[in-house]
């Protein structure tokens, strides 16, 4: 049931020439990350057929190389 929704959505993304990636963050769902100007959508398709969508909006500020340290500060160095 859920796979049909996922495959239909992927076909629509292709037909609209939208950029996306597939990921699995949890075993019960497939995550489709869709990229459009100023936004990123996380669309999760679950085996039981339900769908969850979360939108992330860019504030539009462009940063330079100094932002690389900010990004790395969210992780922990591996040893």
CATH number of the domain within which 14 lies: 2.20.25
Q: Is residue 67 part of a domain?
A: no
Tell me the pLDDT tens digit for each residue of 22-69.
Answer: 999 999 999 999 999 999 999 999 999 999 999 999 998 889 999 999
Instruction: Spell out the long-range contacts of 43-49 with Cβ–Cβ below 8 A and sequence spacing 24 or more.
Output: 43/9, 45/2, 45/3, 45/5, 45/6, 45/9, 46/2, 47/1, 47/2, 48/1, 48/2, 49/1, 49/2, 49/5
41 versus 71: the higher-pLDDT residue is 41
Give dist(CA 19, CA 61) in Å, integer: 22
Total domain count, the chain: 1
Domain containing residue 15: 2-58
């Amino acid at each position: 049931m859920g796979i049909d929704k996922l495959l239909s959505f992927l076909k629509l993304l292709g037909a609209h020439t939208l950029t996306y990636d597939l990921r699995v963050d949890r075993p019960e769902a497939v995550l489709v990350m869709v990229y459009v100007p100023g936004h990123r959508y996380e669309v999760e398709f679950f085996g039981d057929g339900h769908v969850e969508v979360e939108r992330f909006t860019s504030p539009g500020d462009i940063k330079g190389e100094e932002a690389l340290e900010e990004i790395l500060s969210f992780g922990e160095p591996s040893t």
